[in-house]
Amino acid sequence: MLSSRIKRLRTTHQLSQVELASALNVSKQSVSNWENDNIQPSIEMLIKIAALFHVSTDYLLGLDDKEYLQVSGLTPEQKAHIQFIINDILKE
């Protein structure tokens, strides 16, 4: 589950393994190993991955399926507009 979530987050954010590795200050091989379920990232690295993608560590570990959007810094009106768009999409 962890391996597939890391890969899905990376590809959704249109990052290559090299780009993700650079953002996390690890080797491309580390990212490849995580995604192929050969090794697990350390707890410290899980926290960095979660922060980078604005998800919880519980989400990464498959303990929580909730996904979040980073809206810090937006005005209440902007947040309401985003929620309206999300609600509209969910109706389809």
Q: How far apart are CA 8 and CA 29, in angstroms?
A: 17
Range in 21-25, 40-44, 50-54, 67-71 the model is least confident about: 67-71
Confidence band for 49, pLDDT divided at 50, 70 and 90: very high
DSSP 63: S
Number of domains into which the chain is organized: 1
Cα-atom radius of gyration of the chain, to the nearest Å?
A: 15
Q: Report whether pLDDT(66) > 90.
A: no
Tokens of 45: 């690295």
Structural domain containing residue 27: 1-92
CATH number, position 18: 1.10.260.40
What pLDDT, in 10s, does the model give residues 36-47?
A: 999 999 999 999
Residue 68's alpha-carbon distances to 12, 33, 53, in angstroms, are 14, 26, 10
| pTM for the predicted model, two decimal places | 0.80
What pLDDT, in 10s, does the model give residues 79-92?
A: 999 999 999 999 98
